[in-house]
Amino acid sequence: MSKLVDIENLRIAFRTDEGGWKEAVRGVSFSLGREKLGIVGESGSGKSLTGRALLGVLPSYAKMSADKLSFDGIDLTSASPRLRRSLRGGRMGMILQDPKFSLNPVMRVDEQIIEAIRIGDRRMSRRDATKRAIETLEQVHIREPARVASLYPNELSGGMGQRVMIAMMLVREPDLLIADEPTSALDVTVRTQVMSILDELVTRRGMGLIFISHDLKLVSKFCDRVIVMYAGRIVETIAADRLHEATHPYTQGLLSCMPTVDGPLEPLPILQREASWA
Q: What is the mean pLDDT for each group of 10 consecutive residues in the chain (278 residues)?
A: 90 91 96 94 92 93 96 94 89 82 90 88 87 90 92 90 86 90 76 82 87 90 94 95 92 83 73 62
| Radius of gyration of the chain, Cα coordinates, nearest whole angstrom | 20
**pTM > 0.75:** yes
pLDDT at 116: 87
Question: Are the C-beta atoms of residues 37 and 210 closer than 8 Å to each other?
Answer: yes
What is the model's pLDDT at position 277?
A: 60
Cα gap 51→39, rounded to integer Å? 10
Domain end (from 150, 171, 192)? 171
Q: Is residue 193 part of a domain?
A: yes
Residue 199 lies in a domain: yes
31 and 152 inside one domain: no
In a domain, 157, yes or no: yes
The answer to whether residue 97 is domain-embedded is no
| Separation CA 192–CA 205 (nearest Å) | 20
State residue 165's pLDDT score: 87
CA dist., res. 185 & res. 176, Å (int):
23
Range of the domain at 140: 102-171
Same domain, 186 and 273: yes
Whether residue 185 is found in the same domain as residue 226:
yes
Number of domains in the chain: 2
Bridge partners (DSSP) listed for residue 179: 95, 211
Residue 276: predicted pLDDT: 61
CATH number of the domain encompassing residue 271: 3.40.50.300
CA gap 134, 122 in Å, rounded: 18
**Same structural domain, 154 and 211:** no
Residue 101 amino acid letter: F
Q: What is the pLDDT of residue 193?
A: 79
The answer to the question of residue 96 being in a domain is: no
- Residue 278 is predicted with a pLDDT of 59
Report pLDDT for 99.
Answer: 72
44 in the Ramachandran plot: left (φ > 0), alpha (ψ -120 to 50) or beta? left
Q: In the prediction, which pLDDT does 1 show? A: 56
Which of 106, 197, 194, 109 lies closest to 147, judged by CA? 109
- Give backbone dihedrals phi and psi of 181, rounded to 5 degrees, phi first: 50, 50
Cα–Cα distance measured from residue 83 to residue 81, given in angstroms and rounded to the nearest whole number: 5
Q: Which residues pair with 15 in a beta bridge?
A: 21
Residue 24 in domain: yes
